[in-house]
Structure 1
Amino acid sequence: MGAQSTRNQKRSRAIVKDAGAQTSGMAQLDDAALAHRARELAAGGSISDPAAFLGVLCVASERTLGLAPFPVQSQAVLRLVEGDVIQMATGEGKTLVGAMAATGFALTGKRVHVITVNDYLAERDAEWMRPLVEFFGLSVAAVTEKLGPEERRAAYACDVVYGPVNEIGFDVLRDQQITRRADAVQAPADVALVDEADSVLVDEALVPLVLAGSQPGLETAGQITDVVRHLREREHYTIDDDHRNVFLTDAGADRVEGALGIASLYDDEHVGTTLVKVNLALHAKALLIRDIHYIVADSKVQLIDASRGRVADLQRWPDGLQAAVEAKEGLDVTEGGRILDTITLQALMRRYPMVCGMTGTAVEATDQLRQFYDLHVSVIDRNKELQRFDEADRIYATLAEKNRAIVEEIARIHATGQPVLVGTQDVAESEALAEALADYDIEVNVLNAKNHAEEARIIAEAGDLGRVTVSTQMAGRGTDIRLGGADQDDHEAVAALGGLAVIGTARHRTARLDNQLRGRAGRQGDPGLSLFFVSLQDDVVVSGGAGDNVTAHPDPSGLIDSPRIRDWVGHCQRVTEGQLLEIHSQTWKYNQLLADQRVTVDERRSRLLDTDLAWQELSERNPWRSAQLAHLDEGVRVQAARDIMLFHLDDEWAEHLAVMDDVRESIHLRAIARETPIDEYHRIAVREFKDLAQRAVDKAVETFAEIEIDEDGAHLLDGGLARPSATWTYMVSDNPLAGSGNSVISGIGNLFR
């Protein structure tokens, strides 16, 4: 972790010890005096005596919440306030730590966004921690999807704001479309304190949040979908090793051309239209699999958030691909839309002057956190020593042998009464496993994207006697599993049986996700067990070990008991981690230039919004028109000019995004011409952006000269320059590597039979 980190940890422990010594004195103060003491210590925007300040927060926590922080929690608060990402094990009290740190920041005059992964956690944590924040005369609120503009504006005005990362990002995008500053809902924030930091800052960092406007989109013709449906893998198309791309073969192109009655898909008239639709339909057929990447419910395609195993209500693929999947499933194809603006979670986080965070598994993401955010990781010790037993992986030759062994092991443990939590990779696998266990008369609680509404109840009971819970992607579910059920009535009985047993049905593509699943057992010194099953046919092994020539000698059940093979499986996982990091790094390079260009547009937009710059520029270019409008109220004239300028700036930015999206789709072809795709992309992006602001001004000058402007302002609508009548937000899912541990290779049929 580095010498600097070690020194910081030692200093933090010394401060915590000093704070503990001061706590008894602080406890003698009444509420008003204690709150006053906190404000004294934070006067001037910095904390003058960290130990005393920590002592105040500890006493206030016990008074308002009935929670006396452990020394390790106090240490975590200090590291957060100094801007680190802290690693704390599951069940060690991150929610309280986050609230104490947020309160500390707010007392120094900083507005804090506590960023969560969903609405439920934002609302729950804001209410739970409200007494602590309000004790010091500070305000706290939660931003959730259901709030309207006025409620959002009030929430963002608070000192401490809890909100899901996607809602905060969508509000940034919506605020970039306003034409009057008073219409903005967000107030500037100084600190982002990120819960599940590795999930938000690494796993989903490159997920684009999108604001779209109503406009007929690209639909995939039903005829093309029908043609593609009958293509066969290897004969008509091939899939690359990491399941990210699919390619037509010559025979496949001939088949499609014959069926559509065209001479060549690669003629100029078809390359930008028909070929695009064929490729989208082929991607939908070959790479996007029902009950793994999406489910169909209520006659709609609903995407599965691979990192959390939930339906992503606000998520969709880019419009053409979304339409292709809908056509594949025989559903009504939804209207597309023009992308008005977009921002990745990574770019969103970089808007904050300070970022810190907390998670159960940060160490494995140290390199990414440092490389992309310049953040350091501090590991916080457990309050009580870990009692969980992490058994060595059980490795099997085939998927069928592994799945049979999983069912038998669950049945064996269940017979003792010990609760079992099984972590699966996707919806299809969770349901197949539940069916297999039903044959053993084992009742199973299934937690996956199809029933995530029952999530809190299922997780709360997962530690009860005899309970078997099967879940997709336990990462980021944000709820503790307590032994003996929600009320812990049977805590001692479950502990005597060995605590919660966690079983992983496959290795994840990163060890960090394995450890998140493991961390569900052994909270606060409880006993527990973790065990992963692996087969040589699992995706991670096949993908990470591609090209390796490995010989294994299984026993009659298919079990391979070999340290060499175990080491090789670990190697395969490290290879897939490297693949993910390379994808992240490459995608970051593509996104970064657009993010920098976006900053330039934002700055221009702010000047137009907050000054009379628009009126000045238009008047200079057309003094005659300016004189014509001199009789109008100054405020009306300035706002009319602003509306015109902002319309064209936003329109040119949306067009730039569309152009660069098209370039990105075809940039890999540059490699054929021995050009470096990323260099070519940058060259084109710089060239296209160079004249964007000037084009916007030139078009604004034309509109200024032609459009009617009166006491009601600029009549843009009459000039055919209407902003979209409807807008909507969504996230673009573009990571086929996320999820799919067993299922792509197996074809999903009867996994556990």
Structure 2
Amino acid sequence: MDWLWKALGGKSGRNQKKSQAVVAKAQSAAQALAELDDAALADRARALTSQGELADPAEFLAVLGVATQRTLKIAPFDVQSQATLRLLEGDVVHMATGEGKTLVGAMAATGYALLGKRVHVITVNDYLARRDAEWNRPLVEFFGLTVASVTEGMIPEERRVAYASDVVYAPVNEIGFDVLRDQLITRREDAVQRGADVAIVDEADSVLVDEALVPLVLAGSVPGSAPTGQITHIVRGLTEDNDFTIDDDRRNVFLTEAGAHKVERALGIDSLYSDEHVGTTLVQVNLALHARALLVRDVHYIVREGKVLLIDESKGRVADLQRWPDGIQAAVEAKEGLDVTDGGRILDSITLQALLGRYPRVCGMTGTAVEATDQLRQFYDLRVSVIDRNRELQRFDQADRIYATNVDKERAIMSEIAGLHAKGQPVLIGTQDVAESEQLATALREQGIECSVLNAKNDAEEARIIAEAGDIGRVTVSTQMAGRGTDIRLGGADERDRDAVVELGGLAVIGTAKHRSSRLDNQLRGRAGRQGDPGLSMFFVSLEDDVVVSGGAGEDVTLTPRADGLIESSRAQRFVDHCQRVTEGQLLEIHAQTWKYNKLISDQRSIIDARRARLLDTDLAWQELAERAPERAAELMGLPEDIRVQAARDIMLFHLDNGWSEHLALLDDVRESIHLKAIARETPIDEFHRIAVTEFKTLAQTAVDEAVQTFKSVRIDEDGAHLSDAGLNRPSATWTYMVGDNPLANKGKSLISGIASIFK
């Protein structure tokens, strides 16, 4: 294994052998520990961790193993104990699907808690947070520790109680939104978060890489703005090529001169580009055009119960709480004839990458960490530890089947599914988006093949559908990432027909296209072949697929297909692999560039956080205001000290928060237009840094100056500072959402990078 560790840039083979030796030693210690009663065993664990570090890692693993058997009725495999040790040493653990990552996370979380660390176990959704917290409860409580979960529907009081636990399970977005909401409090007791020492990230590559650049946004409600009904109707009547054009990668749309004249005539105005209309009417027309031409229902979003719900391209399911920038969101709602929701002034935002950077220690587990080694090391300084399978892999991974056209490919996919289904072998088909999943399901049913569909439209049924996907004759059509965290057991959830399915060859996984990252392919492939089960995986590729067209742009490749469209040459496989590597490289480069932008904002946030904490926890606000406005301070000396201090705190925090909100809005505008700096031969990132640093210095001074003016003029009495009388209102309602920030997302979903262009 030494060559593999060196290739991965992970822990050395020597350290890997060392951890295996520790596990072997733990086996020897377990027999004597098993004779202790519960109280003595718990006492032994506390003795081994009393100094904040493991006095004897082998004995500690043995204690955890014995306690797990008593509480969860599961004896950890050696590989699970080894993975637990690697987590306790701060690695990202690569474990194959079905190897028991949930137990590993539970043991590591319990171990960290015994070491006196507050632990957040970060999941990808509410269901897994609730499920895993309750499942792990007996083990955590065995040692006198506490465990809880935080989920979307909880009120602040419930969250506050949950976060006080030693081990907290929560989706990453809930933790992030609570961090943002705590940045609005004016009294320390109103905070719900307590921070944590350790983040154990389940599905680590999904959270730390795929969604790392997703900004979590906290907004204060303001009326939404959308194209008028007249503009939406006019744009609906425009035709591509004549009235508007779309660029090759379908990220931007532009009115032609003829299209602009058509809109002007319909609106009865002289020019869209006049001073009167360029900042209003033209913007609305472009928003409506963007929504009409680039955003496709059932590919980029679905409509459910009168609401537009975005689809997460990496998961193929509804992106809870995610929305586009307000103008685009409103335009899509208008396009669909729905009520336009409130927009919002951004009060604060934080990327998942910056959020995870707040934890002193981050570790995690996933089935596809190896492929993300470079990103994990570059952006988090994390190492990958590969854990061997408990049982040898029995899945057969076929070579890609490459076709000349989509029509040829789709015909071959239907034929393959029909053949597998005819003999009763369960089939899981991974599609690229909701529209494809439903089209495929319709085609299968027309051929008499019943199937379950798992996509963004019915994700509430996810666990049930995926659990049965391994039963005899079952055909499941799914979008990417569906059911992650739920095992597909051969023979159904109760494994009643396991032997029969094994005889048939196990679960067959079919990918209808290659993804932009090989990790996503491997996530789908990994649904088959759990714990030594037999299985089969195959991917179908067309030269018209998005990843091939994008990654192969500019390549002159001539490939000759058979009569049925199949291309059998090894050159075709090399070309497809090349295209995927190109898109992976583009994604890594974009991540690196975006990280540079976000890193400065994150550093500035740390300064704001520190300033805010001092204002919240001390009388600094009163001291600073009294020093700058001594006469006003003297007038207020008759008030109780706590009222004076809180009034000063409210004033200072209002202007600090308001300044930070305006700073974020400014930097967003700068970043959207920074590409213009390249035209002037300036380096965009350097120019961004220059502006950001200059404006941040102004923010700090302006916030204090404005606070002094408010302190001098606002009414302050026994009820505190009456900021609302001066029109200084904090938002009465706030809401949260997420904004995609992936400029290589498929077919127009990359709105952050493209949105500036529609205003040209």
| TM-score normalised by length of structure 1 | 0.96
Alignment of 1:159-198 (within 5 A): 159-198=166-205
Q: CA deviation at 1:253?
A: 4.3
Corresponding position: 1:621 with 2:628: yes
Residue 535 of structure 2 corresponds to which residue in structure 1? Answer: 528
Alignment of 1:291-370 (within 5 A): 291-370=298-377
Contact 1:508 1:540 in 2 (8 A): yes
User: Residue 422 of structure 1 is aligned with which of 407, 426, 429?
Assistant: 429
Deviates more, 1:715-724 or 1:521-530: 715-724
Q: Which amino acid letter does the alignment assign opposite residue 710 of structure 1?
A: D
Task: Determine what percentage of the aligned residue pairs are the same residue.
Answer: 76
Deviates more, 1:140-149 or 1:296-305: 296-305
Corresponding position: 1:685 with 2:685: no
Deviates more, 1:5-14 or 1:109-118: 5-14
Contact 1:539 1:741 in 2 (8 A): no
Deviates more, 1:237-246 or 1:31-40: 237-246
Residue 206 of structure 1 corresponds to which residue in structure 2? Answer: 213
Alignment of 1:430-441 (within 5 A): 430-441=437-448
Residue 613 of structure 2 corresponds to which residue in structure 1? Answer: 606
Alignment of 1:271-670 (within 5 A): 271-474=278-481, 477-670=484-677
Deviates more, 1:282-291 or 1:333-342: 282-291
Deviates more, 1:273-282 or 1:651-660: 273-282
Q: Any idea what SS the aligned residue of 2:30 has?
A: helix
The 1:700–1:316 alpha-carbon spacing in structure 2 relative to 1, beyond 3 Å, is same
Q: Deviations over 1:139-181 (max 9, x none)?
A: 0000001111111111101100000000000000000000000
Distance between the aligned counterparts of 1:408 and 1:348, measured in 2?
A: 46
CA RMSD in angstroms, aligned pairs only = 1.7
The 1:4–1:499 alpha-carbon spacing in structure 2 relative to 1, beyond 3 Å, is closer
Q: Any idea what SS the aligned residue of 1:565 has?
A: helix
Q: Any idea what SS the aligned residue of 1:74 has?
A: helix
Distance between the aligned counterparts of 1:473 and 1:741, measured in 2?
A: 18
Distance between the aligned counterparts of 2:579 and 2:237, measured in 1?
A: 34
Q: CA deviation at 1:332?
A: 1.7
Q: Any idea what SS the aligned residue of 1:609 has?
A: helix
Residue 71 of structure 2 corresponds to which residue in structure 1? Answer: 64
Structure 2: stretches of 5+ with no match in the other structure: 1-7, 750-760
Residue 106 of structure 1 corresponds to which residue in structure 2? Answer: 113
Contact 2:117 2:166 in 1 (8 A): yes
Distance between the aligned counterparts of 2:677 and 2:282, measured in 1?
A: 18
Residue 136 of structure 1 corresponds to which residue in structure 2? Answer: 143
Residue 88 of structure 1 corresponds to which residue in structure 2? Answer: 95
The 1:235–1:684 alpha-carbon spacing in structure 2 relative to 1, beyond 3 Å, is farther
Q: Deviations over 1:682-711 (max 9, x none)?
A: 222222211101111111111111111111
Q: Which amino acid letter does the alignment assign opposite residue 605 of structure 1?
A: R
Distance between the aligned counterparts of 1:232 and 1:90, measured in 2?
A: 48
Q: Which amino acid letter does the alignment assign opposite residue 428 of structure 1?
A: A
Residue 148 of structure 1 corresponds to which residue in structure 2? Answer: 155
Structure 1: stretches of 5+ with no match in the other structure: 743-753
Contact 1:508 1:741 in 2 (8 A): no
Q: Which amino acid letter does the alignment assign opposite residue 626 of structure 2?
A: S
Distance between the aligned counterparts of 1:3 and 1:412, measured in 2?
A: 42
Distance between the aligned counterparts of 2:742 and 2:339, measured in 1?
A: 25
Contact 1:637 1:713 in 2 (8 A): yes
Distance between the aligned counterparts of 2:703 and 2:647, measured in 1?
A: 15
Residue 751 of structure 1 corresponds to which residue in structure 2? Answer: none
Distance between the aligned counterparts of 2:47 and 2:239, measured in 1?
A: 73
Q: Which amino acid letter does the alignment assign opposite residue 699 of structure 2?
A: L
Q: CA deviation at 1:475?
A: 5.6
Distance between the aligned counterparts of 1:326 and 1:631, measured in 2?
A: 55
The 1:598–1:437 alpha-carbon spacing in structure 2 relative to 1, beyond 3 Å, is same
Distance between the aligned counterparts of 2:696 and 2:237, measured in 1?
A: 42
Q: Any idea what SS the aligned residue of 1:45 has?
A: coil
Contact 1:196 1:476 in 2 (8 A): no
Q: Deviations over 1:238-270 (max 9, x none)?
A: 434433333444544454455445555555554
Q: Deviations over 1:47-73 (max 9, x none)?
A: 011000000000110110011111111
Q: Which amino acid letter does the alignment assign opposite residue 227 of structure 1?
A: I
The 1:6–1:369 alpha-carbon spacing in structure 2 relative to 1, beyond 3 Å, is same
Contact 1:434 1:444 in 2 (8 A): yes
Residue 724 of structure 1 corresponds to which residue in structure 2? Answer: 731
Deviates more, 1:443-452 or 1:725-734: 725-734
Contact 1:399 1:538 in 2 (8 A): yes
Contact 1:84 1:375 in 2 (8 A): yes
Q: Any idea what SS the aligned residue of 2:348 has?
A: strand
Residue 711 of structure 1 corresponds to which residue in structure 2? Answer: 718
Contact 1:307 1:739 in 2 (8 A): no
Residue 37 of structure 2 corresponds to which residue in structure 1? Answer: 30
Residue 699 of structure 1 corresponds to which residue in structure 2? Answer: 706
Residue 753 of structure 2 corresponds to which residue in structure 1? Answer: none
| TM-score normalised by length of structure 2 | 0.95
The 1:734–1:146 alpha-carbon spacing in structure 2 relative to 1, beyond 3 Å, is same
Q: Which amino acid letter does the alignment assign opposite residue 526 of structure 2?
A: G
Residue 123 of structure 1 corresponds to which residue in structure 2? Answer: 130
Deviates more, 1:296-305 or 1:386-395: 296-305
Distance between the aligned counterparts of 2:75 and 2:554, measured in 1?
A: 55
Distance between the aligned counterparts of 1:275 and 1:672, measured in 2?
A: 24
Contact 1:652 1:692 in 2 (8 A): yes
Deviates more, 1:169-178 or 1:305-314: 305-314
Contact 2:671 2:688 in 1 (8 A): yes
The 1:741–1:208 alpha-carbon spacing in structure 2 relative to 1, beyond 3 Å, is closer
Q: CA deviation at 1:391?
A: 0.6
The 1:71–1:522 alpha-carbon spacing in structure 2 relative to 1, beyond 3 Å, is same
Q: CA deviation at 1:408?
A: 1.0
